[in-house]
Amino acid sequence: MSWISDHLLTLNGTLVLLAVFLLPALESSVFLGFIIPGETAVVIGGVTAYNGTNALWAVLLAAIVGAILGDSIGYAIGKKWGDALLRRIPHRILKPAHIAQSKDLISRLGGRAVFAGRFAAALRALVPGLCGVSEMRYRTFAVWNMLGGAVWATGFVLLGYFAGASWHRIESYANTASWVLVGVGVVAVGGLLYLKHRAEKRASARFEEQPEAPDSESAHSVRP
- Per the domain annotation, does 217 fall within a domain? no
Across the chain, how many H-helices and E-strands are there?
11, 0
Give the CA count within 13 Å in the CB-facing half-sphere of 113.
25
- Per the domain annotation, does 218 fall within a domain? no
Question: pTM (2 decimals)?
Answer: 0.69
Domain range for 51 is 2-208
Q: pLDDT tens digits for 79-106?
A: 888 777 767 766 665 566 656 666 777 7
- Per the domain annotation, does 223 fall within a domain? no
Q: pLDDT tens digits for 42-90?
A: 988 999 999 899 999 999 999 999 999 999 998 998 888 877 776 776 6
Domains identified in the chain, total number = 1
- Per the domain annotation, does 95 fall within a domain? yes
Q: Outline where 30-95 has alpha helix (H).
A: 39-51, 56-88
- Per the domain annotation, does 82 fall within a domain? yes
Nearest to 157 by CA among 36, 72, 62, 33: 62
